[in-house]
Chain A
Amino acid sequence: MSVAAAHVGPGEQQLPQDQPQRKRGLTGYLLLLPGALWLLVFFVVPTVTLVSTSLYDPTGSISTGYQMTFHWQNYVEAVQEYAPQLWRSFVYAGLATIACMLLGYPLAYAIAFKSGRWKNLMLVLVIAPFFTSFLVRTLSWQLLLGDNGWAVDVLRTLGILGADGHLLATPFAVVTGLTYNFLPFMVLPLYASLEKLDPRMLEAGADLYAAPFTTFRKITLPLSMPGLVAGTLLTFIPAAGDYINSELLGTPTTRMIGNEIQDLFAAGAYPVAAALSVTLMIVIVSMVFFYVRRSGTEDLV
């Protein structure tokens, strides 16, 4: 609409044709400039640097410098060596995302529909953990899940956990940590899309013979899909690349791809580390692409 109006405008006002049009063209580019610069500095340059680093000669080091040899074998080496960690990352991130969904949906639903005057307080409580460093919060899970913590005590008493069973330093601890850390990123977009849902939709569902669960399945869930998709992306993507939870709550057998990349960079093996990073990026982007296509919310991304 506005585009059409803009084209009609000058003709109707009988303005000189050349000047205003050239001016408008320039204005457009000027307005694009800050965004374009931002993208260039913070997206294009780092990506190009990362991709070119991944093709450097792996025999170089920080002291001797690296040479660009288009050594694509870096990728083969990276994938061959770190396939288990790569796979584990996606499994852990997937489990954490599912856990976030199961915990976050009822929470977001409660905040959007049932909280009444407590709504703002509940939202603040969801965001409140961000006021503390996530390192400290993850460390505190060591205490919660530790062998002397009450969680282990309770589970041992109930017999769910054997007498010598542990919670800390298990895949369970890592997935729990991931779930905890990324839960707000699931809750907030879900809340935003549930909040927009007109309660009369639910009344209309009930009026048209849909029992509460059917109304949820046929109306609430489809209408909150954009929030759910955004939430899963915001949870899954950073969780797949996370290394803090595995570092603090896991063991060498629960190492994720983030841990390996971090170690490789620390050891100065830049080309392989970069190749691993690019591989992770490509896998995630293609997974996201298929996921978004499948859930039919292309307009989201």
Chain B
Amino acid sequence: MPSADLVLSAVTKRFGSFTAVEDLDLTVPEGSFFALLGPSGCGKTTTLRMVAGLEEPTAGTIRLGDADITHLRPYKRPVNTVFQSYALFPHLTIFENVAFGLRRRGADNVKTQVHEMLELVELEQYAGRKPAQLSGGQQQRVALARALINRPQVLLLDEPLGALDLKLRRQMQIELKRIQTEVGITFVHVTHDQEEAMTMADTVAVMNAGVIEQMGEPLELYENPATTFASNFLGQSNLVAGRVLERSADTVLLDVQGTKLVAPAARAQSRQQDVWVGVRPEKVFLAAAETETDDGSNALRGAVVTDVSFVGVSTQYLARLPWGQELTVFEQNTGARESFRRGERVDLHWMPGHTFLLDAAQDASAGVEKEEDL
């Protein structure tokens, strides 16, 4: 069977003088659950719309398997979309909404197929209703059924869970993943919710300002961020300015404000002398000031706790280092760890293996989610 990978090559899309997507190369393997993750306005929806045929690329080609679909009209593409606002047809019943694509292609036994599909999304009893009589979550499933029933080669999902409340969203994430595994169709999922992307997707592409910053499996992406944007947008990161003193085959010796730290050479994304030394907040442990360790861990000493917030499973600390920078620390509430109060003096420890190094030329606050984005 020939491969039906979705391949975007050097795709660029400009709206007037604004470049929404720039020179994008992307391969989505057949049958995978692929997430395009990025903040609003990063070009992810434009990319999706180009695959759907609703926008035409300014340059570049889009191929699906052996076929070049770059300039194919949307209704001729074996691609279906679940729209952000669902875009269900309000004058048609749920049954007719789901049957729409089949009828256009003159399919046989529409009735059986629609009922099977409604069964898959657990909406059989609503077939006769109009979309307005359904809840948001149910409408979402109708939109999914309406697209899936056509057995597209690629299913595009444009922030499909954005309008749902948190609990329903979690439920639908699991549901979507289940359905994708069941039908085995390639899913391309656009979202700005990093947790959503990591929960569902096999591969996540982090997109920013029209380009893909990093692409990989969720775990790989989280543990080894390649850019400051990826490190901040996918989870949180502490980034401290440092200088490389010595590079050996396995490790990199660093100087951070007079303190010697060690990082694995494999996790260094920069060959430069000046780097960002990064560590995830949950990898850092707090210890009372001047606690000695003998396990060779990295330590930044002389910090002061400036904020403590209890979040249930963990406690989030902010610790100010002697040079004024505040780092975030998540301590699991296992009961085994010492807790601290505001104003107490502490040291920060973490395993050298958890350190990563990024290019110091990048903006350390890139990708930090602002309040209005949430």
Question: Which A residues form the contact surface with B (CB < 8 A)?
Answer: 198, 200-201, 203-211, 214, 218-219, 222-223, 225
Contacts of B91 in A (CB 8 A): 222-223, 225
Contacts A200-B83, A200-B85: A207 and B90 contacting too (C-beta < 8 A)? no
**Nearest CB of B to A261, in Å:** 40
Contacts A200-B83, A219-B89, A222-B91: A206 and B74 contacting too (C-beta < 8 A)? yes
Contacts of A222 in B (CB 8 A): 91
**Nearest CB of B to A124, in Å:** 28
Chain B residue with the shortest CB-CB distance to A223: B91
Contacts A222-B91, A223-B90, A223-B91: A209 and B85 contacting too (C-beta < 8 A)? no
Alpha-carbon gap, A136 to B104, bound state (A): 51
The answer to the question of B100 belonging to the interface, with a C-beta cut-off of 8 Å to chain A, is yes
**Contacting pair A207 B52 (CB below 8 A):** yes
Alpha-carbon gap, A205 to B81, bound state (A): 10
Contact-size category for B: 20 to 34
Alpha-carbon gap, A144 to B35, bound state (A): 64
Alpha-carbon gap, A75 to B255, bound state (A): 107
A interface, over-half SS: helix
**Nearest CB of A to B163, in Å:** 13
Contacts of A206 in B (CB 8 A): 53-54, 73-75
Alpha-carbon gap, A210 to B100, bound state (A): 9
**Contacting pair B104 A209 (CB below 8 A):** yes
CB under 8 Å from chain A, chain B span 57-87: 73-76, 79-81, 83, 85, 87
The answer to the question of B167 belonging to the interface, with a C-beta cut-off of 8 Å to chain A, is no
Question: What are 14 sample pairs from A and B whose C-beta atoms fall under 8 A apart?
Answer: A203-B83, A204-B81, A204-B87, A204-B88, A205-B75, A205-B89, A206-B74, A207-B53, A207-B79, A208-B146, A209-B76, A209-B150, A222-B91, A223-B91
The answer to the question of B105 belonging to the interface, with a C-beta cut-off of 8 Å to chain A, is yes
Contacts of B52 in A (CB 8 A): 207
Contacts of B74 in A (CB 8 A): 203, 206-207
Alpha-carbon gap, A170 to B51, bound state (A): 57
Alpha-carbon gap, A298 to B147, bound state (A): 32
Chain A residue with the shortest CB-CB distance to B73: A206
Question: Which B residues form the contact surface with A (CB < 8 A)?
Answer: 52-54, 73-76, 79-81, 83, 85, 87-91, 100-101, 104-105, 146-147, 150
**Contacting pair A201 B73 (CB below 8 A):** no
**Nearest CB of B to A216, in Å:** 13
**Nearest CB of B to A212, in Å:** 8
Contacts A203-B54, A203-B87, A223-B91: A210 and B104 contacting too (C-beta < 8 A)? yes
**Nearest CB of A to B150, in Å:** 7
Chain A residue with the shortest CB-CB distance to B52: A207
**Contacting pair A214 B104 (CB below 8 A):** yes
**Contacting pair B54 A209 (CB below 8 A):** no
**Nearest CB of B to A226, in Å:** 10
Alpha-carbon gap, A208 to B101, bound state (A): 5
Alpha-carbon gap, A207 to B85, bound state (A): 15
**Contacting pair B53 A204 (CB below 8 A):** no
Known: A209-B104, A223-B89. 15 other contacts (CB 8 A): A198-B85, A200-B87, A203-B54, A203-B74, A203-B81, A204-B89, A206-B75, A207-B53, A207-B74, A208-B80, A208-B101, A208-B146, A208-B150, A210-B75, A210-B100
Contacts of B53 in A (CB 8 A): 206-207
Chain A residue with the shortest CB-CB distance to B74: A206
Contacts of A205 in B (CB 8 A): 75, 89, 100
Which of A207, A211, A214, A223 lies at the interface centre, i.e. has the most chain B CB atoms within 10 A of its CB? A207
Contacts of A219 in B (CB 8 A): 89
**Nearest CB of A to B242, in Å:** 49
A-B residue pairs, 9 tightest by C-beta? A208-B101, A204-B87, A209-B104, A200-B87, A206-B74, A222-B91, A207-B81, A209-B75, A208-B100
Alpha-carbon gap, A169 to B52, bound state (A): 56
**Nearest CB of B to A196, in Å:** 11
**Nearest CB of B to A221, in Å:** 10
Contacts A203-B54, A206-B53, A206-B54: A211 and B87 contacting too (C-beta < 8 A)? no
